[in-house]
Structure 1
């Protein structure tokens, strides 16, 4: 019976799986080896090696070590990074996922699943308050204003799902969140004055949490390197050791999975954050905007 297959649902391309597979593929090609050589080292089929390199299946630690040995990779930090990546991917695949009960999350399933196992997030937002810091009324107003929902009844489950994500900021496995937000996102009257008053007050409360760092890039910062797009860097180990970048466009979700992409966006985030106010000054600015409302 199909339901008896323990691997059911695991043979699927994942963000972390693709990143791991891409690194192993690069290492193999650098040694001018074929997939058959890797298959021999794993006592597996060429088809399995192809699935590994395409991020379609999880990979065990002994197989990681065997491939590193075959490819002549002796740097302990590199091997440890690949092992951490493989572990994170396995955790992602086996997670039952509370998010599966919310049909409105289809386009965000991969992101929410990764957020659930991440150790830290760095997010830059131009136009909206980051999802992990939104109130229910603010999230609802965003959904209504988006105007793309075919069934309005789906909005409330979407809002509930967004609130469920925020457990990561207060639960047993507290996520480290560094959010840099442009001042324009705080002044946009999403949902009206009362909704924004509650939202800004919520930001002030969240900024008091030790695991939340909040900065505001003020209008006075002028032109800055983050003007073209918002993005989130999702980390699964020490910062920079294992990162992927998530971006939303008007028509799709974009994942940037290479080391070069992660490094480039980490540097971009650092430049933007240096233009932001310090947290204490950011809190004063938010409080000032709140009082204006």
Structure 2
């Protein structure tokens, strides 16, 4: 199975191989393997053994110890993610969601930009249920509670001894869209304000009055990992699907985009006051 982290590592090794002017067969000789193994490694289809990473680095004349160690850390993180036997394995049927939640489980920080919805990690069950009911077909109504249960369990990462750090920037439209009715939205906004008081959570609001902004193309999340060799990964999160954006340059472009949007948004303190004002304006 291809994974995001393995594709990162495979892509870096592919770049080193091409820079060295070698083909897959020559790389395979260094591993006493077939060229098909190198092809699978470069596409992220298989976990990486440390001796293979070291052998390829030696062949490609990658001599910087920090670069080699970064690749080894990335390989280790991918192996740990593949071995993970978390609750999501049995709770979900969609492989893309299993991959995202496993990644979220080993991340140390998430930066999220949301255009139309409250971030999933911050949603109340009532808000989730209203979204799920609108998203599923009548013959899938039994799926609603399963979807809610999955998202509630994801929120456990916000607590515990090593809580996930979250920096959320939310467009004003997401705060005013009447999902589930006034009472559900008022409770949702009050819950969001309470979460924003935690030291591990930052919430900023991008108000309408800020004008044209750079993030109109869609919502996204940036996941950061502890390992220095693990490049940030970006994903677009739907109700039950996930699309990945990979690569160092692509990740850096989203990081820059997020930073520009933060600069246009209200400060965390002013955002809390803004949330209070919107919540008070919710009428039955």
TM-score by length of 1: 0.90
8 Å contact from structure 1 (residues 118, 175) kept in 2: yes
Q: Which residue is 1:211 aligned to?
A: 200
Unaligned regions of 5+ residues in structure 1, if any? 1-11
Q: What's the offset of the Cα at 1:282?
A: 0.5
The alignment partner of 2:10 has SS state of helix
8 Å contact from structure 1 (residues 181, 217) kept in 2: yes
Q: Tell me the matched-pair count.
A: 282
The alignment partner of 1:262 has SS state of helix
Q: Which residue is 2:24 aligned to?
A: 35
Q: Are 1:164 and 2:153 counterparts?
A: yes
Q: Are 1:117 and 2:89 counterparts?
A: no
Q: Which residue is 1:151 aligned to?
A: 140
Among 186, 191, 198, which residue is 2:187 paired with? 198
**1:3-152 maps to which residues of 2 (within 5 A)?**
12-103=1-92, 105-148=94-137, 150-152=139-141
Q: What's the offset of the Cα at 1:90?
A: 0.8
How many angstroms apart in 2 are the aligned matches of 1:30 and 1:150?
Answer: 54
How many angstroms apart in 2 are the aligned matches of 1:122 and 1:210?
Answer: 15
How many angstroms apart in 2 are the aligned matches of 1:150 and 1:54?
Answer: 38
**1:271-290 maps to which residues of 2 (within 5 A)?**
271-290=260-279
Extract structure 1 runs of 4+ deviating beyond 3 A: 103-107, 147-150, 238-241, 248-253
The alignment partner of 2:163 has SS state of coil
How many angstroms apart in 2 are the aligned matches of 1:123 and 1:169?
Answer: 14
Among 252, 277, 282, which residue is 1:263 paired with? 252
Q: What's the offset of the Cα at 1:106?
A: 4.5
Q: What's the offset of the Cα at 1:275?
A: 0.8
Among 172, 179, 183, which residue is 2:172 paired with? 183
Q: What's the offset of the Cα at 1:133?
A: 0.6
The alignment partner of 1:232 has SS state of strand
How many angstroms apart in 1 are the aligned matches of 2:229 and 2:69?
Answer: 14
Q: Deviations over 1:98-149 (max 9, x none)?
A: 1122246554221111111111111100000000111111111111122447
Q: Which has the higher contact order (CA 8 A, sep 6+)?
A: 2
Q: Which moved more, 1:208-217 or 1:250-259?
A: 250-259
Q: What's the offset of the Cα at 1:238?
A: 6.6
TM-score by length of 2: 0.93
Q: Which moved more, 1:278-287 or 1:43-52?
A: 43-52
**1:225-264 maps to which residues of 2 (within 5 A)?**
225-237=214-226, 242-248=231-237, 253-264=242-253
The alignment partner of 2:112 has SS state of strand
Unaligned regions of 5+ residues in structure 2, if any? none
Change in 2 beyond 3 A, CA 1:88/1:182:
same
RMSD between aligned residues: 2.0
How many angstroms apart in 2 are the aligned matches of 1:61 and 1:209?
Answer: 39
8 Å contact from structure 1 (residues 104, 158) kept in 2: no
How many angstroms apart in 2 are the aligned matches of 1:67 and 1:86?
Answer: 13
The alignment partner of 1:33 has SS state of coil
